[in-house]
A and B are shown apart, each in its own frame.
Chain A
Amino acid sequence: MDMTELHNIVRVSGVTKVFTLKKHKVEALRGVDLEIRSGEYLSIMGPSGSGKSTLFNMIGGLDKPTSGKVFIDEVDIAQLDAYELAWLRCRKIGYIFQTFNLIQVMTALENVTLPMIFGGMHNDAAVQKGLELLDLVGLGERFRHKPSELSGGQQQRVAIARAMANDPAIILADEPTGNLDLSTGEEIIELLKRLSEEKGVTIISATHDFKMLSVSDRVVWIRDGRIDKVEEREQLSISVGEIAHRL
């Protein structure tokens, strides 16, 4: 790929986040600077409690930084009003969570079509596209099932289809394999990788699952709310080797 063609779809600049609990303060992020290129598959790696989810929420416009700025397509998201923010969440970003977060009372298809309805798509068109997306993630037959009738891996597939619903520029995934067994987790990673290649969507995935390493274009290692190091794909094989060695 030609590097000059890629622009920064996400830019995180000096972001800190302090949670004030009753007595003490928790510094979840202590100044994060990060540029994410359009179309890349980026993994944010770090141990539990290192601030991955906090960063995920900042990038996704789900929470506000204590200081610093987050730009999506060079727009400072702190400047957006409620309507623009809702539009951003609806059309620009697709979210995937560790706990799937499907709407329990809705069928797989209804879960997938909901963001399209919010996005203003006509119901029939949304159903049509929802079926295609469920097909794409390998659940074409199960569109009538409720989340409780699906396995964890299948629920995460529905969540991925839902995240793709409005053809977002960015898919944000917070530990997408965290609640899945090894092989199901691998399938989900494969699926994400395939979608990033086929649709050119930028994937940002917070994880401590080393299976993610092999598919990532870049890995950001985070520790105690700071970026420890950023590794490009070429450098990765070395650290993977190291990890394999350490394990």
Chain B
Amino acid sequence: MLNTGKEEKTEISRQVVLPFKKSLEISFQSIRVRFFRSMITTMSLVLAVSFLSFVRVGTDAANGLLATGDPELHQSLVNAGYDLEPGATATGSSAKERWIVILSLLVCVVGIINAQLMAVTERFREIGTIKCLGALDSFVLRLFVLEAGMQGLAGAGLGSLLGGVAALLSTLIRFGFPAWQHISWLAVGQSIGFATVIGCLLSLLGVLYPAMVAARMQPVEAMRVEQ
């Protein structure tokens, strides 16, 4: 009796696995099938990140103009509302602007947490089922994090491009062609990249708690919910 117990024990220690490629496939499919829902989850991220990108690219453009040292351009910047010391060669976004950006990003994270908690609730049965099929907590966590990562990348990428393009167009309208002649395209690229990275991080931050709730759920709890 004891002997058979031992044999079984060693056999049972064999591992369950979920290859990374397969997790990617499953997460991607999950987003695709729930496209509308994913879009809504991602929308606040797109907006917040495009705002961040808009502000940063706008600042890049202003810096480009300032760097010329042309007093006329300097004056038109002041007229456009930039707080500039006479003779300044660089500007940042104003404190007020920074606050609004940070607030919008915070609101966005809260929105993502909320949307992801709802997504988890909607998927209780699915989570319980895959746990019955042998999924570990870490598989569930990974699937949710991957989904959020992909949504984050898509949403933040789109948002930062939109914001960047909007900022470039608006500087073009306000300052004419010099705005584009003097701008540092490297800085613009960096700003867009920065906004994208921040957006991805926010998306991951927002999914962390909901994904942990999902992963820790016992299969019976998850399945009890009537759906």
Contacts and interface: CB of A to CB of B under 8 A. Distances in A.
A46 interface: no
A63 B13 contact: no
Interface string B1-25: 1001100110011111111001000
A95 interface: yes
Nearest to B19: A117
B125 A120 contact: no
Contact of B133 (A83, A84, A90): A90
A75 B4 CA distance: 9
Interface string A55-79: 0010010110000000001110000
Nearest to B134: A90
Interface string B175-211: 0000000000000000000000000000000000000
B68 interface: no
A75 B133 contact: no
A20 B126 CA distance: 26
B17 A89 contact: no
Contacts of B30: 105
19 contacts: A62-B132, A73-B8, A74-B5, A75-B5, A82-B137, A83-B15, A84-B12, A89-B132, A90-B16, A97-B223, A102-B129, A104-B126, A105-B29, A115-B133, A117-B18, A117-B19, A118-B18, A119-B134, A123-B22
A103 B134 contact: no
B219 interface: yes
Contacts of A118: 16-18, 133-135, 139
A125 interface: no
A120 B15 contact: yes
Interface in B90-134: 125-126, 128-134
B134 A89 contact: yes
B219 A62 contact: yes
Interface in A74-126: 74-75, 80, 82-84, 86-92, 95, 97, 99, 101-106, 114-115, 117-120, 123
B170 interface: no
Nearest to B2: A74
B9 A87 contact: no
Contacts of B131: 86, 89
Interface of A: 57, 60, 62-63, 73-75, 80, 82-84, 86-92, 95, 97, 99, 101-106, 114-115, 117-120, 123, 162
A97 B19 CA distance: 27
Interface centre among B5, B9, B133 (most CB of A within 10 A): B133
Contacts of B19: 117
Contacts of A57: 220
Kindly state the interface size class of chain B when it binds its partner.
35 or more
Closest 3 CB pairs of A and B: A90-B134, A105-B33, A118-B134
B150 to A, nearest CB: 15
Contacts of B166: none
Contacts of A89: 131-134, 219
Contact of B16 (A75, A119, A123): A119
Contacts of B133: 89-90, 95, 114-115, 118, 162
B214 to A, nearest CB: 14
A62 B33 contact: no
B218 interface: yes
B29 to A, nearest CB: 6
Contact of B12 (A60, A88, A97, A123): A88
Nearest to A75: B8
Contacts of B5: 74-75
Contact of A86 (B9, B33, B125, B135): B135
B8 A115 contact: no
B39 interface: no
Interface centre among A88, A92, A105 (most CB of B within 10 A): A105
B154 interface: no
B135 A84 contact: no
A74 B6 CA distance: 9
Given A74-B1, A80-B12, 4 more contacts: A74-B4, A89-B134, A90-B133, A114-B130
Contacts of B125: 99, 101
A87 B15 contact: yes
B73 interface: no
Contacts of A104: 126
A120 B126 contact: no
